């Protein structure tokens, strides 16, 4: 049970900012970053506002998503130069339709942290985001071998059940950190009962973060803050600061989470705190 006294370092709120994604475009919101300079500016703004983890997808200058290790390396290095202690969590999800090996190319830059997507789901229209059981095992084993810390992205309850099987088999053996990504068309929605169901379905020792897609971003952020979880926001997940008002930047979305954390008495985790909470200190 989460304590009501939020003074402990372990109770600090980890904010992840998903600055760019692979599917959102400048036509939807001009603040979506594509170029390396735009990525750095977005990451720096989010970091200054309180994000300790940057969830990163790479894009070419025209916005095309890529998992190409050279492009990723350039963006990764540029962000690290500007925010040396921030945790960069690279996406191994990439974009819908990418092959397994294409998605894994990013591991060649030896990231500190990456996502592990824990199941297949419809992704709107004809799109299917494919993560078979064999894919998940392959991704986890690659990351285990390379000592990359993974965050388990679960889009519905079946994905959590899959992780539980892999934990039992010893395939998943990280510190257990979940991300509930809720509100994708094809995945689980992001109502309070959905959140509570998932939160109560993970192992007791696990930590979790919530990424609410679209209209769920801030309602889920607040629920997670209240229940001792962590929060992901960013233009990848949601383009609006308020109903009908586009967010001006990733920073603005992070600032809104910080104000929710203040309201509920949660302090914000620095990158150092975050490494401690997620047991990444020896990295």
* H or E element, residue 42: helix 36-49
Minimal distance in Å, beta carbon 55 to ligand KMH?
A: 7
Piece of the chain touching ligand KMH by CB under 6 A; list 37-45, 91-99, 140-148, 162-170? 91-99
One of 117, 156, 255, 273 touching ligand KMH (CB under 6 A): 117
Q: How many residues touch ligand KMH (CB under 6 A)?
A: 12
One of 29, 35, 77, 96 touching ligand KMH (CB under 6 A): 96
One of 91, 92, 162, 207 touching Zn ion (CB under 5 A): 91
Mark residues 137-166: x for contact with ligand KMH by CB under 6 A, - for none: ----------------x-------------
Q: Which does 106 bind (CB under 5 to 8 A by kind): Zn ion, ligand KMH, none?
A: none
Question: Cβ distance 188 to 194 under 8 Å?
Answer: yes
Nearby residues of 188 by Cβ (< 8 Å), 6 or more positions away: 155, 156, 157, 182, 194, 198
Measure the N-to-C terminal CA separation of the chain; round to a whole number of Å.
29
Of the pair 232, 251, the CB lying nearest Zn ion is at: 232
* H or E element, residue 35: none
- Hey, which residues between 49 and 68 contact ligand KMH (CB under 6 A)? none
- Hey, which residues between 232 and 271 contact ligand KMH (CB under 6 A)? none
Nearby residues of 86 by Cβ (< 8 Å), 6 or more positions away: 43, 47, 51, 52, 53, 54, 79, 80, 271
Distance CA 54, CA 86 (A): 7
Which DSSP state fits 214? Answer: G
Question: Cβ distance 271 to 259 under 8 Å?
Answer: no
Binding site for ligand KMH (CB under 6 A): 22-23, 91-93, 95-96, 115, 117, 123, 129, 153
């Amino acid at each position: 049970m989460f304590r009501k006294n939020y003074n402990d370092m372990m109770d600090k709120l980890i904010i992840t900012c998903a600055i760019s994604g692979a599917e959102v475009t400048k036509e939807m919101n001009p603040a979506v970053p594509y170029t390396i300079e735009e990525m750095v500016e977005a990451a720096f703004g989010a970091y200054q506002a309180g994000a300790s983890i940057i969830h990163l997808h790479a894009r070419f200058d025209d916005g095309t998503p890529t998992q190409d290790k050279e492009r990723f390396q350039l963006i990764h290095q540029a962000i690290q130069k500007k925010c040396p202690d921030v945790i960069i969590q690279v996406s191994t999800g990439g974009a819908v339709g990418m092959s397994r090996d294409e998605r894994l190319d990013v591991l060649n830059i030896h990231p500190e942290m990456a996502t592990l997507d824990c199941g297949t789901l419809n992704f709107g229209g004809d799109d299917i985001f494919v993560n078979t059981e064999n894919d998940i095992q392959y991704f986890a084993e690659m990351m285990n071998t390379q000592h990359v810390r993974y965050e388990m992205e679960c889009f519905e309850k079946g994905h959590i059940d899959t992780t539980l099987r892999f934990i039992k088999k010893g395939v998943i053996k990280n510190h257990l950190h979940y991300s509930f990504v809720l509100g994708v068309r094809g995945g689980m929605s992001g109502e309070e009962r959905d959140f509570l169901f998932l939160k109560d379905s993970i192992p007791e020792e696990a930590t979790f973060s919530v990424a609410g897609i679209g209209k769920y971003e801030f309602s889920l952020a607040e629920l997670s803050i209240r229940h001792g979880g962590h929060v992901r926001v960013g233009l990848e997940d949601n383009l609006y600061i308020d109903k009908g008002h586009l967010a001006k930047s990733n920073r603005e979305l992070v600032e809104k989470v910080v104000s929710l954390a203040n309201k509920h008495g949660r302090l914000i985790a620095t990158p150092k705190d975050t490494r401690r909470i997620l047991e990444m200190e020896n990295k």
